[in-house]
Structure 1
Amino acid sequence: MINPLRRVMCLAIILLMAGCAGNKSSVGSYSGGVYTVKRGDTLYRISRITGTSIKDLAGMNGLSPPYTIEVGQQLKVKGSAKTASSSGKGSGKTAKVVPSSAVPQSSWPPVGDRCWRWPTTGKVVMTYSTAEGGNKGIDIAGSRGQPIYAAGAGKVVYVGNQLRGYGNLIMIKHSEDYITAYAHNDTLLVNNGQSVKAGQKIATMGSSDTDSVKLHFQLRYRATAIDPLRYLPPQGSPPKC
């Protein structure tokens, strides 16, 4: 019998990265230096299949963390020109692996629906984007060892570094609708299944799996990444709800 906490952790990872591992029998096709994404693919998996590093895949295709890709999307690769076919016949339909707008902006929750706190302080060096391959959260620059705080009260559903592109990652479930994610941490200070309070220190800032010291912060509503800056108060100010 699957441990309930492990089930929640896997669900959280699915919401963030398009699946725990994907269907191993389904492999995308690539020929002539172009790889066509299939359901269950992640950038890490494509890297292993094609022999192209994640850094090269991201650079060649203009992808930024968290490296969102879609079924049917064609990616440039450095692997040899050969074809790997799916074990089953494709339907020909295109579907998103990680829907960036499954909940359209017109249906995003109203500001003040919940009280959110800044997870840390610092300059926002990359903002949220709805563009294909765009940033699905905000990146906040700071100093190594700087405190990272829970943006709201909830339960920790993931602590680890198994997801390529995120480094040391923490995910907190706040309700059936909301999950927050905190990536690239240095030290992790909470455990899976732990309840946390809003503003509780959960990690320290680092540069794990990235090239600069920063926090990548995501706010997800019903599995959809929404713009955190729309819901956070001005830096240095307490929540207004």
Structure 2
Amino acid sequence: MSLGGQLTGWGAAVCLSLTLFIAGCSGSKSPDYGTFSGSVYTVKRGDTLYRISRMTNTSVATLARMNGISAPYTLQVGQKVRVKGSGSAKSTAMARATPAKSRASSAVAKSAAPPVGQRCWRWPASGKVIMPFSDADGGNKGIDIAGQRGQAIYAAGAGRVVYVGNQLRGYGNLIMIKHGEDYITAYAHNDTTQVNNGQQVKAGQKIATMGNTGADSVRLHFQIRYRATAIDPQRYLPPPGRSPSC
């Protein structure tokens, strides 16, 4: 079934937001990596083509074309994937965001981002941020917050639920909330969801419980998107453990 067919009745804007969300990040990367031999990467359990693309700074389309892999890009443990370059996956991932490139991409992103304080946000869950936001190519387009299974997840702001489902590979149980015309927040890897499509929610309302659907550890992957572009949530959230002052 096509993505449009899955979301009949929710309109092209929601479909576009979901498409951009897929391209942005999965937030399910773990500290363990497969192995390289020259320019060949050996797939380990839990790897996806999206994850390998982030680690090797190679687009999904390029990897798919080089290896003759068609959508939905299913991989097998032990499979050999040709990549550009060589070396360990960890060192490649660390070298991906060079200082010059990071400064350039950050400047572009911040210039297009809304001013801090334009909208009042609150933390969707308590816990340590284990993966920060990155605007590098293939970087994490949100933040990942570690926690306990069953821990409450709250709406970061008032709005209308525009997606509840698990059809998007790599995100598990996912909720998306639209806030006015410019903003959408996303909450991935939930254990249970407690809202429905079309439902109006209040800021701080419980919408889900934390889990690891689509991830290799219990966490919340949280995004704020401004006019479909991912922005760094930690620039707009209050200090950890505090309520918003607005």
Correspondence list, 1:211-222, <5 A = 211-222=216-227
**Shift, 1:11, TM fit:** 3.4
Report the equivalent of 1:55.
47
**Do the aligned partners of residues 69 and 220 (structure 1) sit closer, same or farther apart at CA in structure 2, a change above 3 Å counting?**
farther
Code of the aligned partner of 1:181: A
**Do the aligned partners of residues 161 and 193 (structure 1) sit closer, same or farther apart at CA in structure 2, a change above 3 Å counting?**
same
- CA distance in 1 between partners of 2:148 and 2:133 (Å): 21
Report the equivalent of 1:75.
63
Report the equivalent of 1:97.
none
Please tell me whether residue 200 in structure 1 is matched to residue 205 in structure 2.
Answer: yes
Q: Deviations over 1:97-147 (max 9, x none)?
A: xxx98x731121111100000000000000000111110000000000000
- Do 2:121 and 2:156's aligned partners in 1 also have CA atoms closer than 8 Å? yes
- CA distance in 1 between partners of 2:52 and 2:8 (Å): 40
- CA distance in 2 between partners of 1:80 and 1:180 (Å): 35
Which residue of the other structure, out of 217, 240, 245, is the alignment partner of 1:235? 240
**Shift, 1:58, TM fit:** 4.2
- CA distance in 1 between partners of 2:230 and 2:45 (Å): 26
Code of the aligned partner of 2:203: A
Share of identical aligned residues, percent?
A: 64
- CA distance in 1 between partners of 2:218 and 2:137 (Å): 25
- CA distance in 1 between partners of 2:69 and 2:111 (Å): 43
Equivalences, count:
189
Q: Deviations over 1:47-105 (max 9, x none)?
A: xxxxx9972524543459xxx9858x5227895699xxxxxxxxxxxxxxxxx98x731
Which residue of the other structure, out of 119, 138, 147, is the alignment partner of 1:114? 119
- CA distance in 2 between partners of 1:162 and 1:69 (Å): 25
- Do 2:122 and 2:203's aligned partners in 1 also have CA atoms closer than 8 Å? yes
User: Could you list the runs of 5+ residues in structure 1 that have no partner in the other structure?
Assistant: 19-32, 35-51, 83-99
Code of the aligned partner of 1:186: D
Normalized per residue, the structure richer in helix is: 2
Correspondence list, 1:60-209, <5 A = 60-63=52-55, 74-75=62-63, 79=67, 104-209=109-214
Q: How does the TM-score come out when normalised to structure 2?
A: 0.67
- Do 2:159 and 2:177's aligned partners in 1 also have CA atoms closer than 8 Å? yes
- CA distance in 2 between partners of 1:104 and 1:216 (Å): 20
- CA distance in 1 between partners of 2:197 and 2:48 (Å): 33
- CA distance in 2 between partners of 1:113 and 1:209 (Å): 32
- Do 1:61 and 1:76's aligned partners in 2 also have CA atoms closer than 8 Å? no
CA RMSD between the two structures: 3.4
Q: How does the TM-score come out when normalised to structure 1?
A: 0.68
- Do 2:148 and 2:210's aligned partners in 1 also have CA atoms closer than 8 Å? yes
